[in-house]
Amino acid sequence: MLVGIVKESLSGERRVALTPHVLGNLTKIGLEVMLESGVGEEAGFPDSEYTELGAKVALSRSEVFSQADIICQVRTIGANPEAGASDLDLMRRDQVFVGHCEPLTDVGPITTLAKTGVITFAMELMPRITRAQSMDVLSSQATIGGYKAVLLAAHTLPKMFPMMMTAAGTNAPAKVFIVGAGVAGLQAIASAKRLGAVVTAYDVRSAVKEQVESLGGKFLEIELDAGESEDKGGYAKAMGEEFLKKQREAMTTAVAESDVVITTAAVPGKKAPVLITAAMIEGMRPGSVIIDLAAERGGNCEPTRSGETVKHGGATIIGPSNLPATVPFHASQMYAKNVATFLKEITNEGELNLDLENEVIKGTMLTRGGEIVHAFAREVFGLDPLEPETASSDSSGGETEGSKD
């Protein structure tokens, strides 16, 4: 089988779906690779590194689409509906697409993708099971996001992060408050501690206290009845508005005392919960910084605007979009490892092998035969259930406040 890699068409997307370091693994399982010329250049991988390992360079993008059995992308049309629309006429029925799909955000692009008849695997829907950890793109890319959020905050804050004792006096360390101790939050805690900050974190799941403390952070205890705060897959559940109101009130002091706040909370298929209100931000010191990693899903902070930097009171609120793409070399390497491992799951001796008894395949298959086949996606979009033999998984996906590693 031939696996194709094409350039990402979304503006600012610098990652590549497969990097040279995974080609040997693909060859071992009977797969060949064809790439669009220049596919990895922005991430730091020239064509020569691919061809040295046996990959072929296509004459055009259309050649990759016409010959490849499987197309691997960082962003399929589901996650890139406008720029990706130009690829629709290049797709073939039963051709396989693997990548980010935004499978629970907007039914329009997913329906368009389904109508082409292609088989689409949404990597965001990877089941949170031990066997699938090496394929979990949400965790790998959230790690990048949590790290880069701290660097962005340190660059913006008019203070230094570490305590410094100098002849000119002692500078107190910056105080950083992390909201959400999922993958991104835990990496943010570790990165902020490495830079010398005093770090406090909060998560609706008190069970993550040990993880926070193991990284050198202090866990903020909020004595509230959170009830069942996570679902069977380990994701944080959307809580009731009354709980969220009490939670925001309890966090007001922590926010006011912090120089930096980094928020990471999201719930699959829903708008991100607003955890930091405008009034809370008004209590922060002038020069304080908020990095809202949920900005693309509406934001955890009331004034957040996705892709923009705004001022509120004396604080600067940054709503970054696509932070992993700003560290494209390592983000691509990690993503490629996830995808290459997944390709091994859906093939056998160089042939496509879509065993729907396999929970990884069943859990990630989004479209097939002209239909959206993922049961949870259909539920989110208000579509009638399919017959059991047609439907895919009922598992949900998404980086959340309570995501597991």
3-state secondary structure the chain: CEEEECCCCCCCCCCCCCCHHHHHHHHHCCCEEEEECCCCHHHCCCHHHHHCCCCEEECCHHHHHHHCCEEEEEECHHHCHHHHHHHHHHCCCCCEEEEECCCCCCHHHHHHHHHCCCEEEEHHHCCCCHHHHHHCHHHHHHHHHHHHHHHHHHHHCCCCCCCEEECCEEECCCEEEEECCCHHHHHHHHHHHHCCCEEEEECCCHHHHHHHHHCCCEECCCCCCCCCCECCCCCECCCCHHHHHHHHHHHHHHHHCCCEEEECCCCCCCCCCCCECHHHHHCCCCCCEEEECCHHHCCCECCCCCCCEEEECCEEEECCCCHHHHCHHHHHHHHHHHHHHHHHHHEECCEECCCCCCHHHHHHEEEECCEECCHHHHHHCCCCCCCCCCCCCCCCCCCCCCCCC
> Can 89 be counted among the known catalytic residues?
no
Catalytic residue among 14, 75, 95, 139: 139
Amino acid at 324: P
> Can 203 be counted among the known catalytic residues?
no
> Can 285 be counted among the known catalytic residues?
no
Catalytic residue among 235, 248, 258, 333: 235
> Can 321 be counted among the known catalytic residues?
no
> Buried b vs exposed e over 336-355: b needs ≥16 C-beta within 10 Å?
bbbbbbbbebbbeeeeeebe
> Can 205 be counted among the known catalytic residues?
no
Catalytic residue among 50, 69, 87, 136: 136
The residues facing 201 across adjacent strands are 178, 219
Catalytic residue among 9, 37, 133, 306: 133
Residues with a known catalytic role:
128, 133, 136, 139, 235
